[in-house]
Structures are given as C-alpha cells and as structure tokens.
Amino acid sequence: MNTALATSTATTPALRRETPPLRHCSLAKPSVFRLNRVGFKSGVQTIGKSLLRISASSQSASAAVNVATNASIPSEMKAWVYSEYGGVDVLKLERNIAVPVVTDDQVLIKVVAAALNPVDAKRRQGKFKATDSPLPTVPGYDVAGVVVKVGSAVKDFKEGDEVYANVSEKALEGPKQSGSLAEYTAVEEKLLALKPKNIDFAQAAGLPLAIETADEGLVRTEFSAGKSILVLNGAGGVGSLAIQLAKHVYGASKVAATASTGKLELVRSLGADLAIDYTKENIEDLTEKFDVVFDAIGMCDKAVKVIKEGGKVVALTGAVTPPGFRFVVTSNGEVLKKLNPYIESGKVKPVVDPKGPFPFSRVADAFSYLETNHATGKVVVYPIP
C-alpha cells in the first residue's frame, strides 16, 4: 500500500454524509431476474467444453429485466453484508437493508449483475481497514444495471439507462460502504458509462474495475504503438484485458503473456503473439526483452529482469522491486466511455469465468472460488433479484 493510503484517515465527514450507516428495514417482495445461461446468440468462444469468452447481444438479458419506476422504489432491499472483518463466513445475506439515499450528483441503480475482484476479498479480510469506510459493509465494486432515479445535478443519464461502473472512485481510500452486491446501489455520475450495446449485463459487470486497472497501468507505463509488452497472469481478470488493450487499442508490436497449460489457447485468442506456459517455462530464461511488463500476479522481482533498458514494470500485487511500481486504480466513467467503441466493435471482449455466473444466493461460494486464485477472467454474480 502506498504511503498516501497508509496515512489517510479511515473516514471523512464527506464520506459519512454520502454513505450513512446501513439501516435494517422490513422487506418488500423483490423483483425477479432470470438469465437463460445457454441462450447467448453469437460469438461464443470455447476452450474444450468450458465457456470462457462471450460476445453476445444484450437483447435477451435486457428483456428479462423488470425494474421499479421512481415512484415504486422500495425503502428496503436484499444485500450481502459483513459487520466484522474475516473470512467468507462473515458474509451474511440480509433482507432488510435500507436502499441507499441518492445525493445530487448520483444515480440510483437497480443492480442486475455484479462481479468480484481480489480487492473485495482483501478488503473483507481487513487488509485495508485503516482507510476503509465504516462497518457494516455491503461489498462490491463492479456493477451493471438500470438507472431508476437521478439526482438533481445529474445531466447525462436518465431513468431507464442501462449502465455499468466501478462504484468507488478510490478502491482503498474510503470505498463505498454500500456497494454493488445488493439490489440497489448509488453511484456518482462521473463514474458511470452506458453499457455497451453488444454485451449483456453479466458480461458488462465483469469489466469496470479490471478494464480501468488495465488501462491505467498502460497509461502509467507510457505504453504506445510499436512497443512490446509481457503480461503476467494473462488469463486473469486484469491480465486478459491488458492483453486486449495493448494489442487492439494501443497498437503493441508484440504481446507476450503467461498462463497455465489449459489457458494458453485463450490468451492467444485475446491477442497474445507469444503464450508462455508458466508451469513449464521460467520468464527469467527468456532471451527476449520487453518495453513493458504488466505484472498481475506478484512476480515483480522476476519481471524486472526481462525489461529492456529504460523499460517499465507495473505490479498490481506482491513486493515491488525497482524500477517496478504500483498504483491503486481510480474509477473514472470517462475511461469506460473511451473504451466502449472497442467493446462494441468486438475488438475488446469480456472474459467471464466458466464456473459462473453465480446466482445472488451463492455470493459466499463465489468469494470462496475467487480466493482459490484459479479463476479465468472475472467471477460474476447474476442474476441479482
């Protein structure tokens, strides 16, 4: 954790105003959302029999969504909550949590899908408690859903818009107390973008935090057309997107990526020119050097040995070895808007883990699976009732 995060206070007055303590209320009957999990219409890519990448129309998923009008928004909702830090067992499905209050610059989203990230697990374990928002917490950064209410200062979104976002501007500094693993969540307009038209809610939910992290990492390394890159953990949530952005958005001259034996075909399909089986090859033995190494696994000490003179290493986890560096992603709707055309053209595709989507009732199971560190792409929760 960087020093700015380590020395920041756990809460601020502004955060407390934005995220009042979670309140328990009586529960109204929820709406039900259903996903035809085999009904994707096109562009399904498989590795063996496992569905790893979907490029489907969002039409069927959108049609299945029933959202409340502004006048019928309930005062209470179902949400996953933890009141103490710890393992998966601290997560509880509560049925009487107050729907978040929308401030002037926010919209209220009826959540249709959410996704998990490693930071969700680390936050729940208390690794960032010095800078966390107050307990109890509704976890979740990634959301895709439908706008049901807009604040008075919101200009670019309206009720009925299908949107997606990383709901917390700062992942570790006072992240939202009421996140996306709930029926409703409130999100600032500046963090939002319209959901790409060619993907469904489950796919969209898996993108925001990971694609913002991949893009910010490339920007911070000053990656540009003609440069080469090595992505460590190319089949992971961030790595799978770093491959695609480097190749199809930034114009990399060569993309190499590490993955396990069974995932080499996937990383090649995403744009990797060289797929390295980390179970059989050591990156330190590579004769080729790279302009940038994007370390999404925690091997910075090895990554710095395979960069060109003047090259850069960005490390998302683990110890940082100079000249490597780490950053904490900032949520920004403008990044999602910038990348939407690449998603809608099919150049950049979401990767959803084949064990999902997990239904809302199995969020604890989804966390347990995420924490095995063997997920492919993103672990998605869908449908959220």
Delimit the domains of the chain by residue range: 76-195+352-381, 210-325
Given a cut of 80, whether residue 299 has pLDDT beyond it is: yes
d(Cα 323, Cα 35) in Å, to the nearest integer?
Answer: 46
- The dotted CATH code for 210-325 is 3.40.50.720
- Of residues 193 and 1, more confidence is placed in 193
- The residue among 177, 221, 210 whose CA lies nearest residue 331 is 210
Topology alike, domains 76-195+352-381 and 210-325: no
Fold that domain 76-195+352-381 belongs to in CATH: Quinone Oxidoreductase; Chain A, domain 1 (3.90.180)
Chain centroid to Cα 115, Å, comes to: 6
d(Cα 379, Cα 385) in Å, to the nearest integer?
Answer: 18
- pLDDT value of residue 59: 39
pTM of the model: 0.85
- pLDDT value of residue 40: 25
| Mean pLDDT of all residues in 131-139 | 98
- pLDDT value of residue 21: 54
d(Cα 11, Cα 336) in Å, to the nearest integer?
Answer: 27
- pLDDT value of residue 69: 62
Q: Is 342 left (phi over 0), alpha (psi -120 to 50) or beta?
A: alpha
Confidence of residue 148 (pLDDT cuts 50, 70, 90): very high
* Length of the chain in terms of residues written: 385
- pLDDT value of residue 23: 53
Compute the C-alpha angle 313/165/383, nearest 5°: 115
pLDDT tens for 317-368 read: 999 999 999 999 999 999 999 999 999 999 999 999 999 999 999 999 999 9
pLDDT tens for 222-256 read: 999 999 999 999 999 999 999 999 999 999 999 99
d(Cα 142, Cα 179) in Å, to the nearest integer?
Answer: 8
Strands (E), 261-341: 274-277, 290-295, 307-315
pLDDT tens for 41-52 read: 233 333 333 334
d(Cα 18, Cα 178) in Å, to the nearest integer?
Answer: 10
Least confident of 27-31, 209-213, 304-308, 367-371: 27-31
Least confident of 7-11, 151-155, 309-313, 372-376: 7-11
